[in-house]
């Protein structure tokens, strides 16, 4: 996956300045288009310019935000992503689903109602995890794609917990990696890092799937099936046959098909097709937000959907709307 949200200059990566200025309403609209629509109330004078930067946008997005004024934000219901709020400076108060948190360091997910108060000094990071990538990790852990979104049992991330501190250090390492020359080289490194962040967060923070996985989420699918699903995720943009998947899994085609049927109730190529459909959905969402260019046809063909009629029907069945509606930002 190309890290196309990073400016490249002098051999190193730089975060993209999505917005910088003194129009807080414009800042609200830009942040809402990238992350989640929300209501914003300015509580006092603006001391410094607002700023919104992207270090990376993909299955996992990494941003930082400065409003430069005391503000109150209300997100009535998070859409299909998980937002980890990473306070870096200033002070704030977060309330998730009516419960005030001991500190603003937290994770909220689909359906959660989040209210935030920030002072004028606040600088906050945001790690946005798409539901698609969380579901991919779940498929490996649970042996099935979950029908309901994961819910964290408590949103507060306790910095006193050594495991939480280790995970935060991993987030810091991800940020440094994105700013390094290594991030500019082609290869699957960024994608692997994204999934590592998700996988380890599920180990750190109690969630609704813990009871479904033996050993609190540490037991995975048989190793061959895990290799197969990882291969599908890493090579979704390439022509892939069932033999290719079997070779990557180091099993025969018949064994591969039996494994997918037994553990995932699907076929290898149907699983691959769903991965590709999720990638199309991500790209169409980016197109609607102005983060990429092209057309619905371009994006569909990029991920191997050449029969546009069948693609459109399948997309509508999964997401409840036409691809063109997503591309235009229609819900």
> Region 172-180: what's the mean pLDDT?
93
> Region 4-13: what's the mean pLDDT?
54
Work out the percent of the chain whose per-residue pLDDT is above 90. Answer: 58
Contact, 207 vs 151, CB < 8 A? yes
pTM equals 0.65
pLDDT band, residue 107 (cuts 50/70/90) = very high
Phi, then psi, of 87 in degrees rounded to 5:
-65, 135
pLDDT value for 10? 52
For 32, other C-beta atoms within 10 Å of its C-beta total 16
CA distances from 15 to 33, 52, 84, 126, 136 (A): 18, 10, 19, 14, 27
> What are the DSSP E strand ranges found in 97-249?
99-100, 106-108, 114-118, 123-130
Q: What residue spans in the chain does CATH classification 2.60.120.10 cover?
A: 1-220
For 65, other C-beta atoms within 10 Å of its C-beta total 22
The superfamily (CATH) of domain 1-220 is Jelly Rolls (2.60.120.10)
pLDDT value for 45? 96
Mean model confidence pLDDT for the chain = 87
pLDDT band, residue 127 (cuts 50/70/90) = very high
Q: What residue spans in the chain does CATH classification 1.10.10.60 cover?
A: 223-331
> Region 273-283: what's the mean pLDDT?
91
pLDDT value for 329? 80
User: Where is 326: in which H helix or E strand?
Assistant: helix 323-327
3-state secondary structure 63-111: EEEECCCCEEEEECCCCCEEEEEEEEECCEEEEECCEECCCCCEEECCC
Q: Whole-angstrom Cα distance, residue 199 to residue 210?
A: 13
The superfamily (CATH) of domain 223-331 is Homeodomain-like (1.10.10.60)
Phi, then psi, of 54 in degrees rounded to 5:
-115, 125
């Amino acid at each position: 996956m190309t890290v196309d949200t990073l400016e490249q200059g002098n051999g190193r990566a730089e975060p993209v300045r999505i917005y910088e200025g003194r129009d807080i309403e414009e800042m609200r609209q830009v942040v809402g288009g990238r992350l989640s629509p929300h209501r914003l109330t300015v509580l006092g004078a603006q001391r410094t310019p607002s700023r919104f930067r992207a270090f990376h946008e993909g299955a996992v997005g990494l941003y930082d935000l400065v409003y430069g004024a005391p503000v109150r934000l209300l997100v009535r219901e998070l859409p299909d992503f998980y937002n980890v709020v990473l306070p870096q400076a200033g002070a704030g108060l977060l309330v998730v689903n009516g419960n005030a948190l001991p500190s603003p360091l937290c994770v909220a997910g689909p359906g959660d109602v989040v209210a935030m108060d920030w002072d004028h000094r606040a600088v906050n990071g945001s790690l946005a995890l798409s539901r698609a990538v969380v579901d991919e990790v779940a498929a490996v852990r649970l042996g099935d794609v979950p029908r309901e979104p994961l819910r964290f049992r408590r949103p507060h991330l306790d910095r006193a917990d050594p495991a939480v501190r280790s995970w935060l250090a991993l987030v810091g390492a991800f940020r440094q990696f994105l700013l390094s020359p290594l991030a500019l080289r082609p290869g699957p490194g960024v994608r692997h890092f994204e999934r590592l962040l998700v996988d380890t967060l599920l180990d750190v923070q109690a969630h609704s799937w813990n009871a479904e996985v033996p050993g609190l989420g540490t037991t995975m699918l048989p190793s061959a099936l895990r290799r197969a699903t990882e291969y599908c995720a890493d090579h979704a943009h390439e022509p892939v046959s069932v033999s290719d998947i079997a070779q990557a899994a180091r099993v025969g085609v018949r064994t591969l098909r039996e494994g997918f049927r037994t553990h995932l109730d699907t076929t290898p190529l149907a699983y691959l097709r769903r991965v590709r459909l999720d990638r199309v959905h991500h790209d169409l969402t980016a197109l609607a937000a102005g983060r990429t260019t092209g057309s619905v046809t371009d994006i569909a063909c990029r991920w191997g959907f050449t029969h546009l009629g069948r693609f459109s029907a399948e997309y509508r069945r999964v997401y409840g709307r036409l691809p063109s509606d997503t591309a235009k930002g229609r819900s």
